[in-house]
Chains A and B, each alone.
Chain A
C-alpha cells in the first residue's frame, strides 16, 4: 500500500469543499469497512448467543435436554423473571442475596482498584525512577498469572495460620489470640462493626426484621462477609496491574510540554498530578471505571475457586452458573443473566453521565 498521490494542495482543498456530501458518504463507507470484521464476528459469536439466552430465559429449559430433540422445553413467558424479582420465596431470596453480595463487591473494589492503579501508574511513569522495567513488571505480576492459579496461592496466604495472620499477629497486639478466619467467615463486616458498639440484631429493634425482596433489612445492611472481603482484596490486587497498564499507556499521551509549563509556573509534583494529570486522564478513567463495573459485577472465577459461593460470597454470576449447570434450571439462569445485563448497562450509563460525558463527547 503505497499510493500517496500528491496533487496540488490548493486544488484538493477546493475539491473537498465542493463535494461535502460525497465526502461524507465516503467516510461512512470507510467506517463500515473498518468496523465490518468486528461487527460480523461479534454478531455471530456473541450477539446471536445473547439473543438465544434471552429466548431461553422465557422457557423452563433444564439446559440438558438436546435442543434438537422433541420438546426440550416449554414456553413460560416471564415466569422466570417474576420468580426472581417479584414472588416471595427461595429463588427471590437467592437472587437478591446474590445481588447484595455483588453490589457490596462492586462498591468496595471499583474505587480501590482505580485509585491504586492510577497511583502506581503515575509512580512507574516517573522519569527519575530507576529500574522502571523491574517495577512495572513487579507491579503487574499478580495480573499475569491466571486467576485460578493466583486464587489458589492467595488462599494459601490467607488461611487462618497463614502468612497474613502471622504478620498481623506480630504487629497487632492481641490479634494472635483471636485471628480472622479469612476464608471461612460469613459474618458481614458492617454487622461486625456495629457489634463493637453493641448493636446487634437483637438490640436494634423490630424494623430490622422487615423483609424487602425476601431479605430482611438487617441482612441488607450486613456489608460484605469477611470471606467476601478477602475475595475483594484478591480481586483488587490482581486487577490493579492491568488497569495500571491502561493508565500507563494514557500517560504517554500527555504532551510533556504541559508538565514543563506547569513546572515553570512553580507547581509542585502533587499539584501537577491532581490539577493537570488527573483531569487530562478523564476519558481513561471513564474507560477504567466502565471496565471495572463490567468486570466486578460479573466476578466469578475467584468465587468459584476460593469459596464455591459459600460464606456469603455467592455473586450473581456465580448464581447464574450454579442454577444453569449444577441445578439444571437454565431458564432461571439465563433470566438472572439478562437482569444482570440490564443492571450493568444502567450503571455504565449512569457513570458515563457522571465521569465521562464532558470529556468524552
Chain B
C-alpha cells in the first residue's frame, strides 16, 4: 500500500515537470465570455489576424464564470492582454486601474455608435471599443395581431398605442405583453418618460417623476391582466413565453432572434422600436429625441494595463472591432449587432438569409439597429447592487399590487441617496 502511494506521488511529480511553458516572442492571451458559437466565430476572426501577423501568437480562451475568473486574475495581478469587459463592470475596472486607456490607440472611434462610445468613456477618455451590442425592441406575434385585426407596431407607437394594443390582444389564451420585474427592461420606460441615470456632471440620479410614470404603466398593464411575467406564464424567460404563444408582445434584445429561429421556427413575428413615452421638458432641453428610449447591452474589447505588448494588443483589438471586424460580426450573426453603423445593413442581410422559410419578418430587425442611435446603457455606479435589488423588488411589488408606485419610488430614492453617501465617505 505504501509503495503504491509513493508511486502515485512520483507520477504526479513527473506530470508537473512535464508542463513547463515555452516562451514566444510576442504572445497575446485573449479571454472572452462566450457561447460555443461565439467562440468559434471569434476564433475564426483571430485566425485572420494571425495570418496577417505571423510574428504574433494569440491564444483565445472562453471562460465559464467569466467575471469571477477575470476579477480573480486582476486581484492576483496576472491577467490577460486582451479581454471582454461587460458594460456593468467597466467603471469598476477603470477605477481599479486594470484597463489600458485606449484614447490614443483606438482607430476610427467616430465610426462607432455614439451610445457605445459613451458607455466606454470615462473622464473624457474612450478606454475600449465596443465589440458588439444589443438593444431592446418590441417583438410582436403577427398571427395574434392579425387575429385581433390590429396593425403591427411601428416606430412611432406611443405608450397609449402599446397600452391599447395590450388590452385588445389579451384573451383567455394569451396576454398582451410579457414583461418581467426587471430594471434592465423597465429603465427603457423610465428613459422614455424623460428620466436620466446621470446628470450633466456625471452624478447618478434617480428622478421621481419619470420613475412614477414608468411604474404606473407596469401597474396598469399587469393589474389589469394585460401583461404578465414569464414566471406567471410558466416560462423560464419572456422569450420562451413569447415563443410558446403565451403573449402577443415582449421586450427583449437581439439574443431573442437566434433563440426564436432555432426553437420556434414557425412562429410568425416581427420587431418594432420601443414605444415613444411622454418625455420631459428637461430631456427636450438637452436636445434628446423626446420620449425615445431603449437600453443597450454591450461588451468592449479592452487591453490590460500591464500588457507587455501594447502595440500588438491594440492592433488585435482594432482588427477585431474596426470596419472589417464589424463586418465579420455581422456575417457570423450569432446574435448581437456590429458596433459600427457601417455594418448594420450587412447584419440585416445575413439574418434575412437565415430567416428564409421561417416566420420571422427579417426586414423589421432594423428596429434593433435603429435603437443604436439613442440607446442608453443601464449602468449603475460601483457598489450599487443594493439599489438594483431594491428597484427590482419594487417593480415586482408594484406589479403584484402589494405596494404603491409612490412608496416604491420613495424607498428606492432613499437607497440611492444612502449609497451615494456611502461612496462619498
- Complex CA distance for A323 and B422, rounded to whole angstroms: 14
Given contacts A181-B232, A325-B67, A325-B68, contact A64 B98 (CB under 8 A): yes
- In the bound complex, residues from chain A placing their C-beta under 8 Å from that of B76 are 66-68
- In the bound complex, residues from chain B placing their C-beta under 8 Å from that of A165 are 234
Given contacts A63-B71, A328-B382, contact A184 B231 (CB under 8 A): yes
Contact of B2 among A1, A159, A327 (CB under 8 A): A1
Q: Are A89 and B418 interface neighbours, CB within 8 A?
A: yes
Q: Are B93 and A184 interface neighbours, CB within 8 A?
A: no
Q: Are B75 and A66 interface neighbours, CB within 8 A?
A: yes
Q: Does A301 contact B (CB under 8 A)?
A: no
Q: Are A90 and B77 interface neighbours, CB within 8 A?
A: no
Q: Are A160 and B234 interface neighbours, CB within 8 A?
A: yes
Query: What is the distance, in angstroms, from A168's C-beta to the closest C-beta of chain B?
Result: 13
Given contacts A64-B71, A161-B234, A186-B396, contact A94 B97 (CB under 8 A): no
- Complex CA distance for A29 and B127, rounded to whole angstroms: 60
- Nearest-neighbor residue (CB-CB) of B2 within chain A: A1
Q: Mark A65-99, 1 if CB is under 8 A from B, else 0.
A: 11111000000000000000000011100100000
Q: How many of chain A's residues have a CB under 8 angstroms from any CB in B?
A: 36
Contact of B92 among A1, A66, A94, A328 (CB under 8 A): A328
Q: Does A253 contact B (CB under 8 A)?
A: no
- In the bound complex, residues from chain B placing their C-beta under 8 Å from that of A310 are 392, 396
Q: Are B77 and A327 interface neighbours, CB within 8 A?
A: no
Contact of B75 among A67, A90, A91, A326 (CB under 8 A): A67
Q: Are B385 and A64 interface neighbours, CB within 8 A?
A: no
Interface residues of B in 65-124 (CB under 8 A from A): 67-68, 71, 74-77, 88, 92-93, 95-98
Q: Are A94 and B389 interface neighbours, CB within 8 A?
A: yes
Q: Are A309 and B232 interface neighbours, CB within 8 A?
A: no
- Nearest-neighbor residue (CB-CB) of B415 within chain A: A90
User: Mostly helix, strand, loop or mixed at chain A's interface?
Assistant: loop
Q: Does A155 contact B (CB under 8 A)?
A: yes
Interface residues of B in 199-249 (CB under 8 A from A): 229, 231-236
Q: Mark B365-380, 1 if CB is under 8 A from A, else 0.
A: 0000000000000000
Interface residues of B in 353-402 (CB under 8 A from A): 382-386, 389-390, 392-393, 396, 402
- In the bound complex, residues from chain A placing their C-beta under 8 Å from that of B386 are 90-91, 94, 327
Query: What is the distance, in angstroms, from A147's C-beta to the closest C-beta of chain B?
Result: 14
Q: Mark A284-323, 1 if CB is under 8 A from B, else 0.
A: 0000000000000000000000000111001000000011
- Nearest-neighbor residue (CB-CB) of B416 within chain A: A90
Q: Are B419 and A90 interface neighbours, CB within 8 A?
A: yes
- Complex CA distance for A255 and B96, rounded to whole angstroms: 63
Query: What is the distance, in angstroms, from B348's C-beta to the closest C-beta of chain A?
Result: 33
Query: What is the distance, in angstroms, from A128's C-beta to the closest C-beta of chain B?
Result: 38
Query: What is the distance, in angstroms, from A311's C-beta to the closest C-beta of chain B?
Result: 8
- Complex CA distance for A155 and B234, rounded to whole angstroms: 10
- Nearest-neighbor residue (CB-CB) of A165 within chain B: B234
- Nearest-neighbor residue (CB-CB) of B387 within chain A: A90
Q: Are B234 and A64 interface neighbours, CB within 8 A?
A: no
Contact of A160 among B232, B393, B415, B419 (CB under 8 A): B232
Q: Does B1 contact A (CB under 8 A)?
A: yes
- In the bound complex, residues from chain B placing their C-beta under 8 Å from that of A64 are 71, 74-75, 92-93, 96, 98
Q: Does A183 contact B (CB under 8 A)?
A: yes
- Complex CA distance for A94 and B389, rounded to whole angstroms: 10
Query: What is the distance, in angstroms, from B423's C-beta to the closest C-beta of chain A?
Result: 11
- In the bound complex, residues from chain B placing their C-beta under 8 Å from that of A1 are 1-2
Q: Are B229 and A184 interface neighbours, CB within 8 A?
A: yes
Contact of A67 among B77, B97, B306, B393 (CB under 8 A): B77
Query: What is the distance, in angstroms, from A262's C-beta to the closest C-beta of chain B?
Result: 38
- Nearest-neighbor residue (CB-CB) of B3 within chain A: A1
- In the bound complex, residues from chain B placing their C-beta under 8 Å from that of A62 are 92, 95-96, 382
- Nearest-neighbor residue (CB-CB) of B240 within chain A: A159
Contact of B77 among A68, A183, A314 (CB under 8 A): A68
Q: Does A100 contact B (CB under 8 A)?
A: no
- Nearest-neighbor residue (CB-CB) of A183 within chain B: B231
Q: Does A279 contact B (CB under 8 A)?
A: no
Interface residues of B in 404-425 (CB under 8 A from A): 415, 418-419, 422
- Complex CA distance for A132 and B392, rounded to whole angstroms: 49
In the assembled complex, 14 residue pairs joining A and B whose CB atoms fall closer than 8 Å, in A order, are A64-B71, A64-B93, A64-B98, A65-B75, A65-B98, A66-B98, A159-B231, A159-B235, A160-B233, A160-B234, A181-B232, A186-B393, A186-B396, A328-B382
List of 7 A-B pairs having minimum Cβ-Cβ separation, nearest first: A184-B231, A161-B234, A66-B77, A327-B385, A68-B77, A64-B96, A160-B234
Which chain B residues have a beta carbon within 8 Å of chain A's beta carbons?
1-2, 67-68, 71, 74-77, 88, 92-93, 95-98, 229, 231-236, 306, 382-386, 389-390, 392-393, 396, 402, 415, 418-419, 422
**A156-B236, A159-B236 provided; 18 other pairs, C-beta below 8 A?**
A64-B71, A64-B93, A65-B74, A65-B75, A67-B77, A69-B97, A89-B418, A90-B415, A159-B231, A159-B234, A160-B234, A161-B233, A165-B234, A186-B393, A322-B385, A323-B385, A325-B67, A325-B71
